[in-house]
Chain A
């Protein structure tokens, strides 16, 4: 009787031991992957963005303050030295940022990224044709970025709600610096009935960096937006030129996007 006990007990005990040993070995085996977290920071010429205060001035002399800054980046990728790259697949590579919401300003990427050296990070500002589909985001806050179907559909690439004022004005005026799909109108009108085509205003941003992705741990990739760059540069943006906003003004959106390509920079914390 006792022998039978022992015969059964020993293999069971060994099995338990083996199973424990196996778990243990999983913990110590090196994984050739690293992880990253994207963080998003917003500044005006190096100073952290302060909301709702008329602190800033464009090169054209327009004073401005920002109330809301919300935008999408998509098709985020990391590029290795030898021409290889890794497309971020977490959340289909799309992230929504609300600069007033700390939660949205950190993006924990689940992708297991091969260890090694990367020399740039790239993303699409806004959403491209394939991803910018109406009803893609049924829940807020992304839902509240919806861009009207009759104006091209999908979502705002960016909503920057601000107020501006120049020296000749007695009071500030609202300005909706909203970017998305542009429209081409048949005549000198903004009647949606006369739309003959749409313009995809999203653009690609590629930022050189030195990211040595070592095994384990998290590396922080901070994407910084200099808000002032949207208004300054070769296409200096004059708020007074667009009294009705730019959602239905492709020239205004084009000008803004040309500036926006230089609005971003990156900082890596290895």
Chain B
């Protein structure tokens, strides 16, 4: 009885009751926390860190909801190269990203493509794409929107039109491209032996979803980094440029020379693009409904397109959004003397009064020699970017 009295006495003390309440609450919350920790699924994909090459921007465009992982990239590589992404089993209905994005051409189809005549691809329906292809290089640094007109951008008010993941989803469905059907593609990939396991490793679920297909491919595409050209090695102090290349360098980087750097970067910007949009004086009249104006509604953007990277220029013909130039020489001739005035011509095309920058033949040769120092053969042969030796079901 004495013991019982002792035990009950503290409960009559209000202070003790307050302290007891806090103690029980703390204990319960600790228990609840530890229980939550136990319930967290044991999914741990291996984080993948992009190594920033010397002089390249440290800021990367990787969305927080799709962090790079070794498993995600591996899955994305399979999907990038798997023609069954179209959701159709027939051998004449297979289409993958790699059908058009060919590594040896820096992931454009190339001007000499046996099917896509002149380098202009078309989808499974036979409908050609609105524009020719942009090289798929260093997209992890794209910061002003994807595609020639930058329509897919963080600024786009429409959800589903903002990220590289969105580009992948759109491309899979577009009649001008893979012309897939979400359900058919998911069903096709799901039934292929090996894929559910790869999805599980990459995303913690073996369920094949459109979102995770896009996430995986986007992760792989973000690894496609070109940073091993002669120019890169020159900037690192490892090689010297030839006399002609140096002359071209000066022309590239000076306002009264070729003045390429304002749109295409250079020292200070090794991406060789600002990723911005310019009407570079190709035409006087514009009929393309998919120029930059179609995105911004600003009349100053009529006829404007993204300045593409100049890296691996030698592999990426034809040039311009409409593929009008087949060779680098034609492009240089255009900027030298072929510019056409229009009300919306970019203010950066300040040589318009003379029709261009008026290079001499030797200057043109020097400029071309410099442009060719952006050639990165490692990029077009890197096995990590190529078709896997075996697909998941092989």
A residues neighboring B (CB under 8 Å)? 1-2, 5-6, 9, 12-13, 51-52, 67-68, 134-135, 138-140, 143-144, 146-151, 161-163, 171-176, 178, 190, 192-193, 243-245, 247-248
A135 x B254 contact (CB < 8 A)? no
Say whether B345 faces chain A, with CB atoms less than 8 Å apart. Answer: yes
When each residue 99-139 of chain B gets 1 if its CB lies under 8 Å from chain A and 0 otherwise, what string results? Answer: 00000000000000000000000000000000000000000
Which residues of the other chain, B, contact A1 by a CB distance below 8 angstroms? 6
Q: Is the CB of B300 within 8 A of A52?
A: yes
Closest chain B CB from A188 CB (angstroms): 13
Is B223 close to A, CB under 8 A? no
Decide if A243 touches B347 in the complex (CB within 8 Å). no
* Across-interface contacts of B158 in A (CB, < 8 A): none
Are B19 and A161 neighbours in the complex by a CB distance under 8 Å?
no
Chain B residues touching A, majority SS: loop
Complex Cα spacing A52 to B297, Å: 13
- The residues of A that contact B256 with a CB separation of less than 8 Å are 190, 244-245, 247-248
A6-B16, A174-B352 known; A68 vs B57 contact (CB < 8 Å): no
B247, closest chain A residue (CB):
A193
Band of interface residues on B: 35 or more
With contacts A148-B253, A161-B346, A171-B343 known, what are 14 further pairs, Cβ within 8 A? A52-B298, A67-B346, A67-B347, A135-B268, A140-B59, A143-B268, A144-B265, A146-B265, A174-B345, A176-B255, A176-B350, A193-B250, A243-B353, A244-B351
Query: Which of B19, B255, B265, B276 lies at the interface centre, i.e. has the most chain A CB atoms within 10 A of its CB?
Result: B255
Interface string of B242-275 (1 = CB under 8 A from A): 0000000010011110000110011111000011
- Pick from B16, B56, B267: contact of A9, CB below 8 A: B16
Rounded to whole angstroms, the CA-CA distance of A171 and B250 in the bound complex is 31
Q: In this complex, what residue of B is CB-closest to A1?
A: B6
Q: Which residues of A contact B250 (CB under 8 A)?
A: 150, 192-193
Q: Which residue of B has the minimal Cβ distance to A189?
A: B256
| Chain A residues closer than 8 Å to B348, beta-carbon distance | 161, 174, 176
> Contacts of B58 on A, CB cut-off 8 Å?
138-139
Contact assessment for B267 and A178 in the assembled complex, using a CB-CB cutoff below 8 Å = no
Contact of B57 among A143, A148, A161, A162 (CB under 8 A): A143
Residue of B nearest to A160 (CB): B347
Mask: chain B, 43-74; 1 = CB below 8 Å from A; 0 = not: 00000000000011111000000000000000
Instruction: Note all chain A residues with C-beta closer than 8 A to B337.
Output: none
Q: Given the interface contacts A171-B341, A244-B350, does A150 sit within 8 Å of B253 by beta carbon?
A: yes
Q: Is there a chain A Cβ closer than 8 Å to B15's Cβ?
A: yes
- Tally inter-chain residue pairs, CB-CB below 8 A: 114
Give the top 3 A-B pairs by smallest Cβ distance, nearest first. A146-B268, A161-B347, A148-B253
Distance in angstroms between the alpha carbons of A67 and B16 in the assembled complex: 73
Q: Contact between A148 and B59 (Cβ–Cβ < 8 Å)?
A: no
Q: How many angstroms from the CA of A1 to the CA of B3 in the assembled complex?
A: 11
Q: A193 contacts which chain B residues (CB < 8 A)? A: 250
Q: Is the CB of B345 within 8 A of A148?
A: no
List 22 interface pairs A-B (beta carbons < 8 Å), by A numbering.
Answer: A2-B16, A5-B10, A52-B298, A138-B58, A139-B59, A140-B274, A140-B275, A144-B265, A146-B266, A147-B268, A148-B253, A148-B267, A150-B254, A161-B348, A163-B347, A175-B347, A176-B348, A178-B255, A193-B250, A244-B255, A245-B256, A248-B255
Q: Is B394 an interface residue (CB 8 A)?
A: no
Q: How far is the CB of A29 from chain B (nearest CB, A)?
A: 29
Q: A179 vs B253: C-alpha distance in the bound complex, in angstroms?
A: 15
Q: In the assembly, what is the distance between CA of A214 and CA of B326, in Å?
A: 66
CB <8 Å contact, B255 and A68: no
Q: Please tell me if the beta carbons of B350 and A134 are within 8 angstroms of each other in the complex.
A: no
CA A150 – CA B343 in complex, angstroms?
33
Task: Find out whether the CB atom of A192 lies under 8 angstroms from the CB atom of B254.
Answer: yes
CA distance A190 to B41 in the complex (A): 66
Determine the chain B residues whose CB is within 8 A of the CB of A68 once the complex forms: 347
Which residues on B sit within 8 Å (CB–CB) of A175? Answer: 347, 350
Q: Which residues of chain B are near A192, meaning CB under 8 Å? A: 250, 254
Chain A residues closer than 8 Å to B57, beta-carbon distance: 138-140, 143
Q: Note all chain B residues with C-beta closer than 8 A to A243.
A: 353
- A9-B15, A245-B255 in contact; A2/B10 too (CB < 8 A)? yes
A-side contacts of B351, CB under 8 Å: 244
Residues of B within 8 A of A178 (CB): 255
B23: nearest chain-A partner, CB-CB:
A9
The answer on a CB contact under 8 Å between B274 and A173 is no
B200 interface residue, CB < 8 Å from A? no
| A67-B300, A161-B347, A244-B256 given; A2·B6 CB < 8 A | yes
**Within 8 Å of chain A (Cβ to Cβ): is B38?**
no
For residue A190, give the distance in angstroms from its CB to the closest CB of chain B: 5
The answer to whether B19 and A13 touch across the interface, beta carbons within 8 angstroms, is: yes
Min CB–CB distance A248 → chain B (angstroms) = 5
Complex contacts, B393 vs chain A, CB 8 Å: none
- B266 to A, closest residue via Cβ: A148
How far is it, in angstroms, between the C-alpha of A171 and the C-alpha of B261 when the chains are bound? 26
A190 to B348, CA, bound (A): 19
Q: What's the nearest-Cβ distance from chain B to residue A12, in Å? A: 8
Closest A residue to B345 by CB, please name it: A174
- Cα distance A67–B349 in the bound complex, in angstroms: 13
B268 / chain A contacts, CB cutoff of 8 Å: 134-135, 143, 146-149
Determine the residue in chain B with the shortest Cβ distance to A144: B274
Tell me how far the C-beta of A107 lies from the nearest C-beta in chain B, rounded to whole angstroms: 19
CB distance from A20 to the nearest CB of B (A): 13
A248 and B352 contact, CB distance less than 8 A = no
Is there an interface contact between B345 and A140, defined as CB atoms closer than 8 Å?
Answer: no
A177 to B6, CA, bound (A): 90
Enumerate chain A residues within 8 angstroms of B352, measured Cβ to Cβ. Answer: 173-174
Would B261 and A148 count as touching, CB distance under 8 A? yes
